[in-house]
Amino acid sequence: MNTKLISKMVMSGALLMMAISANAGGGSGVAPVNNTLYAEECGTCHFAYQPGLLPERSWRKLMAGLDDHFDENAELDEVDRLKLENYLVTYAGDHSNYKRSKKLMRSIRNGDAPLRITMIPYLKKEHREVPKDVLKNEKIRSLSNCDVCHRTAQKGDFEERGIDIPGYGKWED
């Protein structure tokens, strides 16, 4: 076997592994965002929520209503809108084997298509011990600002050791 062929095989093997781990591979959090267009278009105004945080039906509904996106106008041209919808749907929580995605999805009632991640039962349950005053902090405002407290949120890691709440400190049991 020549070296070119071997290196080709290694390359395609590596790409395959990456593709598998991006979606099917069961990480402990949610799969991190791996799409530049998404990170730029959506991450300009808010935390770039990982696709694995909502099921496919939610993403489809959300992407069909960008002209009224939680009272904001977030319209895109149709080419970009479709690209992003495809990305979100492909990596949606109900197609993911990541631990947090599975827990989030399991907690949503069949047929429900929540648009707000903060309304997902599992997420609500996980945040029930957060003191009310914490959300009044101007830096935090809402549970939807994930990365303000979950300092490792961008990596798809929402473990407790990564929590550091402004004005409150690290979260320890």
Partner 1 sequence: MKKLVLMLSTVVLSLAINMQAQAGNVETLQSEYQAAGAGNFSASNGEKMWVKNNLDKKSGKQRNCQTCHGKVLTQSGKHARTGKVIEPLARSVNSERLTDIKFMKKWLKRNCKWTIGRECSAQEKGDFLEYLKGQ
Question: Binding residues for partner 1, per CB under 8 A?
Answer: 44-47, 67, 70-77, 138-139, 141, 144-145
Nearer to partner 1, 103 or 116 (CB): 116
DSSP codes, 127-152: TTTS-HHHHHSTTT-STT-HHHHBTT
Nearer to partner 1, 106 or 139 (CB): 139
What residues contact residue 15 under an 8 Å CB cut-off, 6+ apart? none
Nearer to partner 1, 41 or 126 (CB): 41
Nearer to partner 1, 74 or 123 (CB): 74
Rounded CA-CA distance 19/120 in Å is 27
Beta carbon of residue 40, minimum distance to partner 1 (angstroms, whole number): 10
3-state secondary structure (DSSP) of residue 164? strand
Token duo for residue 77:
């041209």
Rounded CA-CA distance 26/43 in Å is 25
